[in-house]
Amino acid sequence: MGLLLLVLNIQAGGPMGDERKERQAMVEVICPVCKHTEIVLIPKEEIPKCPRCGKQMLVKELLTEGKSY
């Protein structure tokens, strides 16, 4: 799980390359047991536990701009 959070920790360099600003990425998470889904911001929010069954949720999809359902 730590490696996944490291991969999703997107950083952008400042004007001189010295400053770094952390950006947020929206991801859809899913419960592996009951298939309940939620959308959370990474790295701002922790990946939640399922409100129905209490299991740790998994990343289902990294949401990008311009995608519509």
Q: Could you tell me the CATH number of the domain that includes residue 67?
A: 2.20.25
pLDDT of 69? 58
The total number of structural domains that make up the chain: 1
Judge whether 1 lies within some domain.
no
Judge whether 17 lies within some domain.
no
8 phi and psi, to 5 degrees? -80, -5
Confirm whether pTM is higher than 0.75.
no
Residue 35: which domain range?
Answer: 24-69
H/E stretch holding 4 reads helix 2-8
Judge whether 10 lies within some domain.
no
pLDDT of 6? 38
Q: What is the pLDDT of residues 11-56, one digit of tens each?
A: 444 455 444 556 778 899 999 999 999 999 888 778 899 999 999 9
Q: What is the dihedral angle through the alpha carbons of 52, 58, 64, 65, rounded to the nearest 10 degrees? A: 20
Judge whether 67 lies within some domain.
yes
